[in-house]
Structure 1
Amino acid sequence: MTMTEILQFADQLIFAKKGKHLDDLQESIIKGIWDGKSYQEIAEECNRSESRVRNIAAKLLQLLSEELGENFEKTNFRSTFNRLNISSSQNQNICQNGNHNFNYSPEILYNSKQNNQEQLNNALSKSVYHDLTLAPKIINFYNRESELKALSSLILDNNIRLISVLGLSGIGKTTLVKRFVDLHLEKFEVVIWKSLKYPKPLELLIDDLLNTCEQESKATRDDKLKQLFDILRDKKCLIILDDVHHIFTQGEFSGQYQSVYQDYQNFFKIITETEHQSHLILMSQEQCAEMECLDGELYPIKSLKLSGLEDREILSEMGLKTDQDSGLKLIERYQGNPMYLKDVAVLIRDVFDGNVADFLAEDGLVITKEMQSHFNQLFNRLSPVEQKIVVELSKFEQPVSREELRQHLDLSSIDLINGLQSLQQRYLVSKIKTDPILFNLSLTFKEYLRKLKPL
């Protein structure tokens, strides 16, 4: 076995047992043991204490011994793995047999007393088709248990066919959905993860989906759609489309399809209107009409909107010097957005030697270079009406009413109303239910806009 196969195998086994993937230290320990290094050498390479490395290594070896029915020790680690001749695959909870992917039971696949081809084939009774090539590996999962429970309920309990997971970039949409997939992979015969960051026409996407299910695409688009929906009816499928906002038009109100991708709108509608047993998850920074339905009784559509995290645990792996007060202030300042916090953590380590209190003493909210680049792209996606609204909102310290905005903007009433709705659907503006209703601009985006030249 190669080192990559060893790590994949160990990661799958530990996830099946503990529900957590290997962390960086565990991977380094496995690599070091495989290469015959001493615990002291491994500890020096990882900048950890030898006692900690020994402790974690002992737990890893004990878990492998219990699960595989073999006495794993540091001295026999490599020879035992080679003798077991265990095959693994890139995707979790899947092994390969010929040209097909199959679900497996870890106890069956990993038990050396049963690990022969005839018994394995008998245990693997139903072929499945999984393509998680573009899905990320999730190591840490922070404080999203309620959202995870809600997503699980929508799919597993309520059989909702179209689910949109929405929120600002970096808020944790992809992490949440991947966590759900990791926990429930075995419940689906087909699981396919696709990204629309570099989108393709719907017909080509359907070709990819059919190819994953080992079906040759028919000639016409209608025939291909029928093929796909036959699969959605016959098999329990989970299809995930990430970065859906890239099929929308830049410079217009949110959720407006580019002409070349207009077919996606009809496809999403058909998903909800056709009887089948499968599910489509859409992840996007923008909401469109197909992602939410006011009549839940008629159409099985639901949206899950993510806000920022408030748990200090998110800072624990970032190497920052923080107490409870400064940690919570940092999270609040950057609205609990994991992507913003990771960018800021790098800056705090580089310039402030990891001291969060010193960083917070700076005058004003710091926008990193990475955040600046991200906000530039986001600002350019807005329509001209939205750009005028957010620039005006950035001038106010407190939330403002629609009437007050109208007095400062040369916009028609309908443009202002549509612009405010669109900005809420981009999660840049929030509505405060007071009398009158007030509108508030995202704090980090406000600070970015204050540094822009006037339009």
Structure 2
Amino acid sequence: MNKEDAIRLVDQLLSQSGRSLSDVEKAILAGAWDGEKYEQIVKQTPYSLAHIRQVGKKLWDVLSETMGQSVTKWNFHHVLEKKLSPVPVFGDCVPNVPRFYGRGKELADLEAAVDRNQCVVLVGPPGIGKTALTAKLLNSLSAHEWNCVIWKSAYPVPPLDSLLEELLGFLSESANPDLDSGKSENKESRSSEPTTNVVSKNSITRLIDRLQARRCLVILDSAESMRGHQEYQPFLRQVVGASHRSCFLLTSEEPFESLERWRLGGLAAQTLILKDLDHESAKRILRDKGLTDEQSWQQLIEKYGGNPLILELVANGVKDLFGGHVKEVLAYVTTFYTDLIEELLNRQFNKFQDLEKQVMACLAQAKKPLTFAELLKDLTKEGISSSDLVQTLDYLDKRSLIQIVRSDDQLTVYQLNSIVRKHTLNRLESEAANLPPVV
């Protein structure tokens, strides 16, 4: 592919969103394809260097959004070549992601993690965008580097023997894409046979052999329930300990504690924590929802946090009940709280032990953000030590349930956003009234 073909391809991609390349954008792409700097590109155009830089910045932002990964003048050539060489995908249907906001750094971090590890767990609370980010990752993979992708939902958790047979079948299919229908039927009939609860060592050995022969990314989506199945821990440990360049990528609402031990032991394993959207990306959600009073958006985001799904639910409510006027909501509604938001938060709160409940209650009832010393003082009567508090704050931070900020006098303080505070207080009221919280 030459640069003229590349420019035509970009024009086709942008036409899907109703726009086309301008002459100055074409000049920038042509120069970027040849590895030129802006100072070199500007000599071939009638435009100023400042104008070239300004248009270039906007162009790379648009292309990053369109292609679902970070695009710059330095990686444009490489990214476009990968776009033309998609990796074959087997297994379940990859979820469609019609809207994707920000996450350029997170996407780059995830791509680097699966490239250098044999097992990666992407952790984050419900609605934070783990599945969407993983789906976008597939746009970044090149058939020159990966032989295949297998996408499987891990909810409900399948017996390990069943999963192994499925993975072996997909890997065989990826190695022989022209399998005739008779072989497909045989594979289907084998998968319908009853399996034992005893994990077949032979199946694991065969799977690792296939992972050595072909570089494959195995994605297990919604894998948090696997943590409670004992058969999966030794299986993942064998996968991580074997010699191959394939990778298992798990999305989970909860960290896999064993993974950190394996990493510290020198194995190729990594946990990535997905947190709230940055404020600019969060504002794009509000803009796409048609909200008004843009000068008040920052306050709305600070109030509700940067969970994309929760922000969309809040924005829908503002649009439906207040005509999209953010100022009215901030003036009259203390906290916009829906049944679905309550359900999302309950999925996290229902897993709390006493320590997490006590820390969340203390933060929710506080009149201001609390320092570590203030938290510890309030909780000492509950028998919580400083080491207990450190572990609990780490647990809550990894699940995006607390905010850690610097106060005006440069002290680290801990607080809850408005919606988490309201949910915590609601549960405390239910418990005080001896009423079970909604699950």
TM-score by length of 1: 0.64
SS at match of 1:241: strand
Tell me the equivalent position of 1:197: 155
* 2:120 equivalent to 1:163: yes
Q: 1:297 to 1:442 in 2, by over 3 A?
A: farther
Shift of 1:442: 5.1
Taking the TM superposition and a 5 Å limit, the aligned residue runs for 1:42-57 are none
The alpha-carbon distance between structure 1 residues 436 and 357, as it changes in their structure 2 partners (threshold 3 A), is closer
Q: Is the 8 A contact 1:348 1:359 kept in 2?
A: yes
Say whether residues 1:395 and 2:354 are aligned partners.
no
Q: Which amino acid aligns with 1:205?
A: L
Q: Report how far residue 20 of structure 1 moved.
A: 6.2
Q: Which has the higher helix share?
A: 2
Q: Deviations over 1:198-246 (max 9, x none)?
A: 2122222222212222476898611111111111111010011122222
In structure 2, relative to structure 1, the CA distance for the partners of 1:436 and 1:342 (3 Å cut) is: closer
Instruction: Note closer, same or farther for the CA distance 1:214–1:22 as it changes in structure 2 (3 Å cut).
Output: farther
1:283 matched to 2:251? The reply is yes
Question: Given residue 222 of structure 1, which amino acid in structure 2 is its aligned partner?
Answer: K
CA distance in 1, matches of 2:406, 2:168: 47
Matched residue, 2:289:
318
* Shift in alpha-carbon separation, 1:166–1:354, aligned structure 2, 3 A: same
Single out whichever of 420-429 and 337-346 deviates more from structure 2: 420-429
Could you tell me how far apart the structure 1 residues matched to 2:133 and 2:261 are? 22
For residues 377 and 330 of structure 1, do their structure 2 counterparts lie closer, same or farther at Cα, with a shift above 3 Å needed? Answer: same
Secondary structure of residue in 1 paired with 2:141: helix
2:191 maps to 1:234: no
Aligned partners of 1:451 and 1:170: how far apart in 2? 21
Aligned match of 2:103: 144
Give the deviation of 1:368 after TM superposition: 1.9
Partner of residue 222 from structure 1, selected from 197, 201, 213: 201
Identity of aligned residues (%): 25
* C-alpha separation in 1, matches of 2:400 and 2:13: 31
| Cα shift at 1:280 | 1.3
- Do 1:21 and 1:138's aligned partners in 2 also have CA atoms closer than 8 Å? no
- The alpha-carbon deviation at position 330 of structure 1 amounts to 2.0
Displacement of 1:107 after TM fit?
8.0
Say which of 420, 423, 427 aligns to 1:448: 423
CA shift at 1:371, angstroms? 0.3
Q: Cα gap change, 1:442/1:329 in structure 2, threshold over 3 Å: closer, same or farther?
A: closer
- The residue type equivalent to 2:161 in the other structure is E
Indicate how the Cα distance of structure 1 residues 433 and 303 shifts in structure 2: closer, same or farther if over 3 A, else same. Answer: farther
For residues 213 and 229 of structure 1, the distance between their equivalents in structure 2, rounded to whole angstroms, comes to 11
Moved more, 297-306 or 275-284: 297-306
Deviates more, 1:400-409 or 1:141-150: 400-409
Per the TM alignment, residue 164 of structure 1 is displaced from its structure 2 partner at its CA by 1.9
C-alpha offsets along residues 317-373 of structure 1, whole Å, 9 cap, x if unaligned? 2122242x2222222222111101110111111110111221122242222221012
Could you tell me how far apart the structure 1 residues matched to 2:325 and 2:411 are?
42
Match of 1:37 in 2: none
CA distance in 1, matches of 2:208, 2:161: 14
Quote the residue 1:8 is aligned against: none
The gaps in structure 2 that reach 5 residues or longer are 1-8, 21-80, 174-186, 433-439
Q: Distance in 1 between matches of 2:413 and 2:317?
A: 34
What RMSD, in angstroms, separates the aligned Cα atoms of the two structures? 3.8
Q: Is the 8 A contact 2:211 2:246 kept in 1?
A: yes
Match of 2:239 in 1: 271
Normalised to the residue count of structure 2, the TM-score between the two structures is 0.66
